[in-house]
Structure 1
Amino acid sequence: MPPEKRNPVAKKTVTRKATPRNKKSKPFPTQWKVAIAGLLLILLSPFYYGYIVNGFVSTWRWIKDWGQDPNYRTYESFNIKIPKKYSIHGIDVSYYQGKINWQKVKNMKEDEVSIRFAFIKATEGILLVDPYFQRNWREAPKAGIICGAYHFFRPKRDGKTQAKFFLQVVNIEKGDLPPVVDIETLDGVSPLKMRAELSDFLNYVEMKTKVRPIIYTGLKFYEDYLDGNFDDYPLWIAHYYQPKLRLSKDRWKFWQHSDKAKINGIGHIVDFNAFNGDSTALAEMVVK
């Protein structure tokens, strides 16, 4: 209705009643009560005395992990949480980590966790050789670390050509872990094309080395493009900051569960991995 045709309505004057003020002191705020109660709980708790006796680190660890999955524990020296159900741990490195003191890597240990294996980047595409590969490939085994070499795969490039390039750089020997192909991106090609080129790479490497390669990829990439394909190949899956890998345990061999570990002898953060098995199972995986 247009405003000029509306009938004016007389408004009644509303008188507000004044709210009487309580002259007594205001009640203590609830948030302060909660804070004080929490402080008293800590002071009276045996964890507080544990702090006094055993030092700050043990109490801080309890505070950080309180309420978390008991099978997923913070390891202060590695600066990450590590799933506790696995006894064999390792890292993977490339030029990004720079010059590594592998003996310091080997000597690092907190409780039962130490570095037993390492995957080392060798090549990428059809031209790129990692500048630190040869040094890492030579020095890590000297320190007593079981090693495997990996190739970063480019689906736009011919798979067989990439395999030949990889094997020109890497000499797979007895005691090494199987060779690895790292597939993380489509590079603009179709999933079908990617799988065809990847298949050519895998077949050529296996034919030449007599060893079945490992496929590395992220969990989502696997679910989107690889699940139901290459089921006969061992899997190394990246899935970060979780107490459990969301994949059937009989389907994978290695789990890259963090990319932020701090390792003695390495100047940059490092990917951290768990092996799905014990020492005997790891020994069975190496090249014979």
Structure 2
Amino acid sequence: MPPAPKKPTVKKPATPVRKPVSRKPAVRKKKSKSIPIEWKLAIIGVLLVLLSPLYYGYILKGFVGTWRWIKDWGQDPNYRTYESFNIKIPKKYTIHGIDVSYYQGKINWAKVKTMKEDEVSIRFAFIKATEGLLLVDPYFQRNWREAPKVGILCGAYHFFRPKKDGKSQAKFFLQVVNIEKGDLPPVVDIESLDGVSPLKMRAELSDFLNYVEMKTKVRPIIYTGLKFHEDYLDGHFDDYPLWVAHYYQPRLKLDKSRWKFWQHSDKAKINGIGHVVDFNAFNGDSLALDNMLVR
């Protein structure tokens, strides 16, 4: 038998090779969370409180107190910063005052009198009147007239020049200043030797003091710096009231029995005055200050 015919071989088409497809990872959408109505009401309530003036008043008070504590941290506890006066003031004294001259310009004494922070206010003022033998402070008469009108106790001072005759300076001072009942005692301001010897300075100063006391029946106050007092006046004129300049210190480094007034700063800011001012503390209470006044 002839062999069966062979079936033709059918070739299968080649399977195409597919390139791998890079797929981006699916991004899941965040589900939005709705804020409960209770929370919304609470947030609105907090906003209303934050916007209220009362809230800001408490915050401001707390901020000022905290800032004051930070500034005074590590300092003497009896030496406190007063923001309105822009200086530190010793705490142990209850009566405070200033001293002024032409340098402060035209002063609104009503504003000076009404200025107050806590227990500190201006109770007295020393006003420059004269210097040497010829100079009259151009604002003296106005200050001397206007300050007492608002209830500020006043005293006049003379800037002493040791090269000039002491008695003549005293006469000049009393020609300008009319010292009356209720005034603080007159003051002589001695700060430098002006090229003369300490002995000559003390002799002329003694003549000034003696003449003023003889004419007014009031013992004058001596104003000077602490260093000048230590170098040239200590042990002299001890019977006279002393007013000492010693700046930026929590205490005056002089026995309290020796002085009446302490000029502890020259950078105070006072309402009604356009320039910085010297600030002073009185060593005593109201009765002691009243006892110093001219009778």
Which bin holds the TM-score, normalised by the shorter protein? 0.7 to 0.9
Per-residue Cα deviation, 1:81-119 (whole angstroms, up to 9, x for no partner): 000000000000000000000010000000000000000
Match of 2:246 in 1: 239
Distance 1:58 1:174, change over 3 A: same
1:266 paired residue number: 273
AA matched with 2:131:
E
CA distance in 1, matches of 2:125, 2:199: 31
> Which structure 2 residues correspond to residues 67-146 of structure 1 after superposition, within 5 A?
67-146=74-153
Question: How far does residue 55 in structure 1 lie from its aligned partner after superposition?
Answer: 3.9
Cα deviation digits, residues 30-68 of structure 1 (max 9, x gap): xxxxxxxxxxxxxxxxxxxx9847342111111101111
**Correspondence for 2:187:** 180
Which residues in structure 2 correspond to 1:272-283 (within 5 Å)?
272-283=279-290
Match of 1:223 in 2: 230
Q: 1:179-218 maps to which residues of 2 (within 5 A)? A: 179-218=186-225
Verify the 8 A CA contact 1:73 1:82 in the aligned structure 2: yes
The 2-side partners of 1:53 and 1:270 are apart by 27
Distance 2:203 2:96 in 1: 32
Gaps of 5+ in 2: 1-56
Q: Does the 8 Å CA contact 1:51/1:58 hold for their aligned counterparts?
A: no
Instruction: Determine helix, strand or coil for the equivalent of 2:267.
Output: strand
In the comparison of the two structures, how many residue pairs are matched? 239
Structure-to-structure mapping, 1:28-67, within 5 angstroms: 52=59, 54-67=61-74
Matched-pair contact (CA < 8 Å) for 1:89–1:113: yes
CA RMSD of aligned residues (A): 1.2
Secondary structure of the corresponding residue to residue 250 of structure 1: helix
d(CA) in 1 for partners of 2:169 and 2:175? 10
Q: Secondary structure at the match of 1:54?
A: helix
* Deviating 4+ runs (over 6 angstroms): none
State the identity %. Answer: 90
Q: Give the 3-state SS of the residue equivalent to 2:74 in structure 1.
A: coil
Match of 2:257 in 1: 250
Q: Distance in 1 between matches of 2:192 and 2:75?
A: 33
**Unmatched segments (≥5 aa) in structure 1:** 1-49
1:236 aligned counterpart, secondary structure: strand
Query: TM-score, structure 2 length as denominator?
Result: 0.80
Q: Secondary structure at the match of 2:256?
A: coil
In 1: Cα distance, 2:133 partner to 2:61 partner: 55
Tell me the secondary structure at the aligned position of residue 157 of structure 1: coil
Q: CA deviation digits over 1:149-207, x for unaligned, max 9?
A: 00000000000000000000000000000000000000000000000000000000000
In 1, distance between residues paired with 2:206 and 2:127? Answer: 22
Which residue of 2 is the match for residue 9 of structure 1?
A: none
User: Matched residue of 1:268: which SS?
Assistant: coil
Which residue type is aligned with residue 288 of structure 2?
A
Q: Which amino acid aligns with 2:163?
A: K
Amino acid at match of 1:199: S
Tell me, yes or no, if the aligned pair for 1:162 and 1:201 is still in contact at 8 Å: yes
Q: CA offsets per residue over residues 120-167 of structure 1, 9 Å max, x none?
A: 000000000000000000000001000000000000000000000000
Distance in 1, Cα, partners of 2:69 & 2:283: 27
Q: Which residue of 2 aligns with 1:163?
A: 170
Q: Distance in 2 between matches of 1:69 and 1:202?
A: 37
